[in-house]
């Protein structure tokens, strides 16, 4: 019986990491899209610079999320 509980616990922890990965990916893309829309509608004069800045922030943010997720054990 202990082996079954251990497998269930390990599976639950693995699923938590998978949910965190999915949620962070969807959240990062949603934030990216929202920021692009905001920059292009409100700051249309600086849209080119804003889009580049948002892309840089997106890439750095996703990289940091990936580094933090790598620290979580499987």
Regions of the chain short of the pLDDT cut 50: 1
Residue-wise DSSP of the chain = -HHHHHHHHHHHHHHHHHHHHHHHHHHHHHHHHHHHHHHHHHSGGGHHHHHHHHHHHHHHHHHHHHHHHHHS--
pTM of full prediction above 0.75: no
- pLDDT, residue 16, reads 82
- pLDDT, residue 18, reads 85
Say what angle helices 47-71 and 2-42 make with each other, to 10 degrees: 170
Q: How many domains does the chain have?
A: 1
| Full domain range(s) for residue 28 | 2-71
């Amino acid at each position: 019986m202990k082996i079954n509980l251990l497998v269930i616990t390990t599976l639950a922890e693995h699923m938590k990491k998978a949910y965190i990965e999915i949620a962070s990916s969807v959240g990062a893309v949603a934030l990216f899209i929202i920021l692009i829309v905001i920059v292009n509608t409100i700051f249309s004069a600086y849209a080119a610079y804003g889009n580049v800045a948002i892309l840089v922030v997106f890439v750095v943010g996703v990289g940091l999320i990936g580094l933090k997720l790598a620290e979580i054990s499987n």
